[in-house]
Structure formats: structure tokens, C-alpha cells
Amino acid sequence: MSREQQAVARARKAFQTGRSRPLEYRIHQLKNLQLLFTERQKEISDAIKKDLNKSEVGTQLYETLGLEGEISLAIRKLKEWAAPRPVEKNLMTLSDTVYIKPEPLGVVLIIGAWNYPWAVTIQPLIGAIAAGNAAVIKPSEVCVHTAKVMEDLLPLYIDKELYPVVNGGIPETQELLCQRFDHIFYTGNCAVGKVIMEAAAKHLTPVTLELGGKSPCYIDKNCDISVACRRITWGKYTNCGQTCIAPDYILCEPSIQDRVISEVKNAIKEFYTDNPKTCVDYGRIINQRHFKRIMSLMEDSTVAAGGDNDESDCYIAPTVLRDVKPEAKVMQEEIFGPLLPILPVSGLDEAIKFINNGEKPLALYVFSSNDKVIKRMTEETSSGGLLANDCLVHFSVSSLPFGGVGNSGMGCYHGKFSFDQLSHLRGCLIKQLKMEGVNSMRYPPHTLKKLGWARFFILKHVDLGWMGRMALLAVLAVVAAVALQNYLL
């Protein structure tokens, strides 16, 4: 039996003991996980510094702070989330107990990504723990140092049988995908997402796919262009552009292109100094393979700002490309790097048409002071999420579902959405062995009279207060008695 098979088998055996089900146990595990981020911040930050050149403050801001918030929310709300949820009843079920009961799915596989290795790996784990599941955690092997720290630290804080960490590359991931899981949660790119979905289909395993795509950013000429470009610059070059919801490209009218370029350059200087290469807050491309891929995307476009690079250091300066054509190389795939193409369009109509001609993106950004522009972009396009006049921050709002649509993914998470995504919402109806006369309308022989009663009881929805429900129950009791008497006669 392979190491991967053993990990899955142990997790399933641990789940079958039932120890992950009590809310007290789930909360205990979540509190231990929270303690990890309090006690081991130095090890976490040092590893990410080696992998992505993130500063310690940047690591807390973009990786662990949000996780601490998610854990606190789950601990505070778990009893409410896990409680039976009453639902509306029809007249036929008025005297019954009808509710939704969230229950654990079983063993979940979580395959993380390298760009925010803690944030996008541990956030679904929080949901898995809160929902009462076991979870096999597969960190991205691309972040070598972080994956090792995760493998070393997680078993010290949370149940190592219920939540094993499996490290390795493609062969190990392929071996994991051969196993049967009750849910697979993958964060990454579309090509691998298709492989995940194909493997899951063999076991009819449901999947959550958090993918990406080319997230558009439309700048209306009638807005504060300086503020807009400052926020776009932050959203684009954070983590050296290696963010799945980074604005991928700008759409704007030709008349404001030069102003946009100027304002982005000003913001780059403000954030990362005259020499971003020496700035502690500017990261690096994860490896040389991705460095070469990103550099090749610039080959047929005009550099308006930046462009400096150093392959030995995996450094690419914050770069702006002007007058980019739709057929340019940089527009054929998600950039996932510090290149910001500007595509001139005639106005809002052409921008919407251009967006709709492509795959549905994970995020869509619109900057405008005109509510009508924002409304049109909201109503006439489709994307995983939409932000007006800012970038990225929707990821931090636990009350919003985070996920893609179409090519950018399926399923969503964050806060209660994570809990629901990794739970089975079981429909329950509890009936008593009384009032059998009411049921006579459904039993053969079927007649038009019985059909008429069935239509009334099933299709009639009445908004009743407490007194109304009591009165109706009394009427139903009388009806049942009469019906039963007729049935027996």
C-alpha cells in the first residue's frame, strides 16, 4: 500500500470512529489550528520568504490574518451553522417536523496552490473541520519550503489521523486522485482542474474547483483616474501579480490611456520605490519556468513602463503594456505575473462585448463614478465576483461566496459557504403515526375527488401565525377523522 493510500485509509478509519462529529471536538481542532498561527508565525514567514520573497508583514497581511479571522468566525458560529434548519411546509406536512440537517461528507481531499500557499490550502481545511469531515491535505510542491513547514507543523496542532498532510509532486497527486474521496477541493489552473474533475468522475465524487482566468478591469473616463489606478496597481502587483483575482488587463478609452499609464507608474513608485528589485514588499516569480513563460508573453506588445528583469533572481519589474491587441500573446492566457496590458476600447458597449466574448472570469472590476455604468456591467456580464471601484477585497468578506463560474471554476467557499460546501444538507421529515385519514387521498383507488383534495393540500400555501396554525391543525384533525370514517365505510 502506497503512502498516499495509507494516509487516506487512516483518515477514513479515523472518520468512521465518529470523533470528528461532536461540535466540541471540531471547535477544539479549530482552536488548535488558530494557536499554530499565533505560535509559529516565524517559521511560516521564513518559508514563504524563501519561496516567494514575501515579507513577514506581507505574509501576515495576505496569508494568515484572514485565516485567523475565518477560524474565529467558524468557532463563534459553528453551533448555529450545524443546527437543524427549519423550512417552509405545505398543508400536507403542517403537523410534521420538516428541516435540513447538515452532516459531514466524509473524507475530503484538499489540493492547495503555491501563490498563497497557506491561505488557499488552510481556508478550505477550516470549512472541512467545521463541517465534521476528515481531510487529506496536499500542499503545492512548487512552494518547497512552505510545503515542508506545513507537513511538519500541522500534525503538531491538529489530529494527524483525521487531517494528514501528503507532500510530493505530480506522481503523489495522481496516486491520491486514484483513491475514493467524498469531496475534492482544488485551487489552481483550468488545465489541472479538468484532470481533477475527470479523476473525480470515476468515483462520482463532487468537486469544488477554484480556478482563475483573465479578470477584466474597465476604467470609465468619468472617474477619479488617480485613485482608480492606485487601487488597480495594488491589486495587480501584490504578490508579484501571482494572484488568481488580480486584474489581468485594463479596458479603457484611448483618450485616457496615457493618463492611466502615468498614474500606474506613480503608484508603482509610491508602493515599491524607484527600484522595486530592492523593495522588501515586492515579491518574485515562483520559479524560472514561470519566469520564462511570463517573459514570452511580452514579445509582441509595447512596454510603456517597467520591463526590467533578472532571470537568476526570478525578478520581473512591475510592467505596463500599451495599445495591446486582442490577438497579442499576453491576451491568450491568464498572465499570473506583473504584466498589465491596456486594451483601448471605444467605450462601455465595446468593453462589455469584449468581456462577454471571452470565458467567464473569476473576478470583474469596474471603476466609475456613474452608477449606471456599474449597473450595466453588473447586469450585462457574468463572473465569479464583481467589484466596483476596488480590487481583491471581496476575498476578505466572509459573508460573500468566493468562487468561479464556467471556466473559472465551480462551487464557492468562505465563512458559512465553506461549511455548506463541505456538508451534506440532508432533508429530513419526521411524521407521527397519527391522522391517517388525511393520507387516504394519496392511496388507491385514485379518484378525482381525492385528486382535488391533494391539489388543495399540496399546492395551497398559507402564511399562518401561531394561532392560525393551531386552528388549522384542529380543522385537519376533524378532516382526518371524517376521511378515516369514510375510508373505513
For residue 435, which of 487, 471, 483, 486 has the smallest C-alpha distance? 483
Whole-number CA gyration radius for the chain: 27
Catalytic residue chosen out of the listed positions 143, 217, 229, 244: 244
Instruction: Tell me the three cell numbers of residue 389.
Output: 471601484
Q: What is the Cα–Cα distance from 105 to 131, expressed in whole angstroms?
A: 8
* C-alpha distances out from residue 452 to 89, 199, 267, 447, 449, Å: 19, 49, 71, 9, 5
Q: What is the Cα–Cα distance from 144 to 153, expressed in whole angstroms?
A: 14
Instruction: Tell me the three cell numbers of residue 369.
Output: 463614478
* φ/ψ of residue 441, rounded to 5: -65, -20
Q: How many CB atoms lie within 10 A of CB 399?
A: 9
Chain CA centroid to CA 336, Å: 18
In the residue annotation, 244 being an active-site residue is answered as yes
| Torsion angle in degrees (nearest 10) through CA of 255, 234, 381, 324 | 50
Q: Are 262 and 230 in contact (CB under 8 A)?
A: no
In the residue annotation, 210 being an active-site residue is answered as yes
Query: Following DSSP, what letter does each residue of 208-240 receive, concatenated?
Result: EEE-----EEEE-SSS-HHHHHHHHHHHHHGGG
Q: Give the orientation angle of helix 23-39 with respect to helix 119-130, to 10 degrees.
A: 160
Q: Which residue do the cell numbers 518547497 mark?
A: 144
Q: Which residue do the cell numbers 514561470 mark?
A: 290
Q: Are 305 and 343 in contact (CB under 8 A)?
A: no
What is the bridge-based pairing of β-strands 339-344 and 363-367?
unpaired
Cα angle, residue 305 at apex, residues 302 and 310 outer, rounded to 5°: 95
Catalytic residue chosen out of the listed positions 63, 70, 210, 334: 210
Residues in contact with 196: Cβ distance below 8 Å, sequence separation at least 6, in sequence order: 111, 177, 184, 186, 207, 209
Residues in contact with 288: Cβ distance below 8 Å, sequence separation at least 6, in sequence order: 311, 314
Q: What is the Cα–Cα distance from 239 to 391, expressed in whole angstroms?
A: 14
The counts of H helices and E strands in the chain are 17, 17
Active site residues: 210, 244
